[in-house]
């Protein structure tokens, strides 16, 4: 799927257990949901039931943390098979995961470990993306992760590494704007120049989130409101990409759904102000069962 | 042909994350800042130990001062081998069993309690959908049903703990031959139910499992059919069985 064919799903939030009961009270404030595949794939019961209910009303996309697209181990058969099945079950528009490795030698880290930025790694990761995309049978979006170390062997800058992979794999880009801010702060580069260097036509989704500022490093916690600097960077991004499905992530210190949708409204206002000013606004693609689709 | 540099770097990272290489040595080998590398080492270890805290709250409380070292030792001994984070805790009961002989604060009862606590989660996440009565013909066992044979009466201990909001003063006596313990997930509420089943509940399981008619069940047990139906209805009310006793 070319980036221009990515439907604009509007402004969404991640499906979290804390909101299983309350999300329906705020259904009109959310356009789409991102389902964390590891929270649903191996589960029956409530998580599965709510994911199905959500998918019957809202567009969904899948997001993962355990595909381990950079690993030197083979792709995990069980994981990839379940991912494809979940995508079909929920009718997800695409799936995404991070440019990292999260397992090796059969050991799962449950964390996003950076891959060295080298030419050989570009080819390695791009090949695995093509394989995963073929097996899951959904478009794939690669996310720029936050990272805290710079390997001595890095031969490319981050933007070039990311761009070369998505170009070679012919996949989409999930641009985490908070991660750009965090990485730029931690590694001393210009976040705006980073945005400029990316292939804007491949950005099919944006992540927004909060972070934690510590004395010598900023940690990408997804546990706080989006800071103004990240919102400014988001506006700058939307000016260049046009409307992009935008999702608010909140994984720690998760607030009530009411707080979450207020934060989402702030992001929506920023995005819509840019697209209206630039004349690039497009209608939001909604689920056919969503009453808003008839408005 | 030698390995690409990025693979060598990732293997060094792996060794650091597993604790096989110190953060100091790893940082030197990778040419990265030691404090930044330590962030990953702490994160990876913290994910596993945090899940143990979440999955085994009762064992955690009972083992007291030994708990922090048990978590660290488990991380070193049992690498996480599943993409689902909670699954990293599945090997803990077996690990704990191996500690009984060497760690003073770990007793065989704690192992049985850990088996129970893990099973609570396993039943919660069981992929089977629990059907409604309207979706089944006749009478069927709850598809999430798990039967354990534990060496201690864990269920009354846990129930007493829940009721009084604190662990019972005494650890129960070991029961030769084991104690049947059942867990299942209720369909509508998705809550986990657990029982140390009495004769009626075990009888109801057997009747449905073996597909015996009410009349045959009454004959085999020298009970009245009303008595059989009553046992089945109790099991239906609990969520253990799904359907209607008249469907047999």
B170 touches chain A (CB under 8 A): no
Q: Is B76 on the interface with A (CB under 8 A)?
A: no
Chain A residues with CB under 8 Å of B5 CB are 116, 118, 120, 153
Instruction: Please give the helix or strand (H or E) that residue A185 lies within, else none.
Output: helix A177-187
Query: In chain B, which among 191-230 make CB contacts under 8 A with chain A?
Result: none
CB burial class (10 A; 0-12, 13-18, 19+) of residue B225?
middle
- Count of CB pairs separated by less than 8 Å, A with B: 119
User: Cβ(B161)–Cβ(B167) under 8 Å?
Assistant: yes
Instruction: Confirm or reject contact between B14 and chain A (CB < 8 A).
Output: yes
The stretches of chain B forming alpha helices (DSSP H) are 5-17, 23-30, 34-55, 57-63, 67-77, 92-99, 108-125, 154-164, 199-210, 214-221, 225-238
State whether residue A202 is helix, strand or coil: helix
What chain B residue is nearest to A100 in terms of C-alpha separation? B10
The reply to whether residue A115 touches residue B14, judged by beta carbons under 8 angstroms, is: no
Radius of gyration of chain B (CA): 24
Per-residue pLDDT averaged across B166-188, rounded?
96
Chain A residues inside the 8 Å CB shell of B85: 38, 110
DSSP B190-204: --EEEE---HHHHHH
Contacts of B81 in chain A (CB under 8 A): 106-108
Structure tokens at A168: 């070679």
Helix B199-210 with B225-238: angle, nearest 10 deg: 90
Does the pTM exceed 0.90?
A: yes
Which CA distances in Å does A114 have to A52, A70, A103, A177? 33, 8, 11, 17
* CB-nearest partner of B127 from A43, A70, A120: A43
Q: What is the ipTM of this complex?
A: 0.94
Is residue B118 within 8 A of residue B150, CB to CB? The reply is no
Residue B243 pairs in a beta bridge with B139
The domains located in chain B, with CATH, are 1-125 (no CATH), 128-248 (3.90.930.50)
* Cα dist from B26 to A112, A153, B31, B33, B41, whole Å: 17, 14, 8, 10, 10
Q: Which of B4, B18, B39 sits opposite A120 (nearest CB)?
A: B4
Beta A95-98 vs A101-104: how paired, if at all? unpaired
Average pLDDT for B114-120: 98
Cα three-residue angle A109-A113-A119, rounded to 5 degrees: 135
Higher pLDDT, B247 or A19: A19
φ, ψ of residue B42 in degrees (nearest 5): -70, -40
- Tens place of pLDDT per residue across chain A (295 aa): 444 468 999 999 999 999 999 999 999 999 999 999 999 998 999 999 999 999 999 999 999 999 999 999 999 999 999 999 999 999 999 999 999 999 999 999 999 999 999 999 999 999 999 999 999 999 999 999 999 999 999 999 999 999 999 999 999 999 999 999 999 999 999 999 999 999 999 999 999 999 999 999 999 999 999 999 999 999 999 999 999 999 999 999 999 999 999 999 999 999 999 999 999 999 999 998 888 876 5
Residue B81 sits at the chain A interface (C-beta within 8 Å) = yes
């Amino acid at each position: 799927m070319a980036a221009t064919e990515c439907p604009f799903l509007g402004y969404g939030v991640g499906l979290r257990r804390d909101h299983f009961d309350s999300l329906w009270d705020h259904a009109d404030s959310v356009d789409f949901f991102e389902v964390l595949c590891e929270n649903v794939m191996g589960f029956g019961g409530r998580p599965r039931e709510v994911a199905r209910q959500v998918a019957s009303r809202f567009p969904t996309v899948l997001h993962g943390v355990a595909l381990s697209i950079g690993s030197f181990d083979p792709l995990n058969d069980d994981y990839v098979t379940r991912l494809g099945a979940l995508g079909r079950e929920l009718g997800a528009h695409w799936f995404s995961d991070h440019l990292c490795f999260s397992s090796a030698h059969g050991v799962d880290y449950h964390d996003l470990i950076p891959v060295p930025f080298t030419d050989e790694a570009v080819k390695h990761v791009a090949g695995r993306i093509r394989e995963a995309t073929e097996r899951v049978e959904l478009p794939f979006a690669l996310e720029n992760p936050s990272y805290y170390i710079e390997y001595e062997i890095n031969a490319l800058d981050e933007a070039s590494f990311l761009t070369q992979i998505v170009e070679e794999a012919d996949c989409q880009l999930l641009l985490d704007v908070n991660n750009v801010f965090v990485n730029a702060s931690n590694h001393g580069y210009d976040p705006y120049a980073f945005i400029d260097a990316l292939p804007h036509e491949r950005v099919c989704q944006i992540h927004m989130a909060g972070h934690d500022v510590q004395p010598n490093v900023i940690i990408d916690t997804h546990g706080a409101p989006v800071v103004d600097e990240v919102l400014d960077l988001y506006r700058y991004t939307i000016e260049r990409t046009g409307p992009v499905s935008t999702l608010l992530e909140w994984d720690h210190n998760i607030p009530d759904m009411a707080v979450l949708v207020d934060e989402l409204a702030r992001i929506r206002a920023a995005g819509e102000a840019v697209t209206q000013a630039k004349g690039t606004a497009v209608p939001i693609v909604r689920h056919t069962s969503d009453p808003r689709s008839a408005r | 042909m030698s390995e690409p540099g990025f693979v060598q770097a990732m293997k060094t990272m792996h060794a650091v994350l597993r604790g096989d290489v110190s953060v100091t040595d790893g940082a030197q080998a990778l040419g990265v800042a030691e404090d930044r590398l330590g962030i990953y080492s702490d994160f990876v270890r913290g994910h596993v130990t945090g899940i143990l805290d979440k999955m085994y709250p009762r064992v955690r409380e009972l083992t007291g001062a030994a708990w922090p070292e048990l978590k660290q030792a488990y991380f070193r001994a049992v690498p996480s081998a599943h993409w689902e984070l909670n699954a990293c805790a599945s090997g803990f009961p077996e690990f704990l069993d191996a500690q009984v002989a060497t760690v003073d604060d770990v007793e065989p009862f704690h192992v049985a309690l850990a088996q129970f606590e893990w099973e609570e989660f396993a039943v919660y996440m069981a992929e089977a959908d629990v059907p409604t009565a309207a979706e089944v013909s006749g009478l069927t066992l709850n598809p999430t049903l798990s039967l354990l044979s534990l060496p201690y009466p864990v269920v009354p201990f846990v129930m007493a703990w829940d009721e009084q909001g604190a662990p019972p003063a005494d650890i129960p006596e070991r029961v030769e031959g084991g104690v049947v313990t059942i867990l299942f997930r209720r369909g509508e509420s998705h809550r986990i139910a657990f029982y140390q089943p009495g004769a009626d509940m075990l009888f109801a399981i057997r009747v449905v499992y073996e597909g015996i008619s009410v009349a045959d069940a009454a004959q085999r047990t020298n009970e009245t059919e009303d008595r059989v139906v009553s046992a089945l209805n109790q099991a239906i009310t609990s969520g253990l069985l799904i359907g209607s006793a008249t469907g047999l």
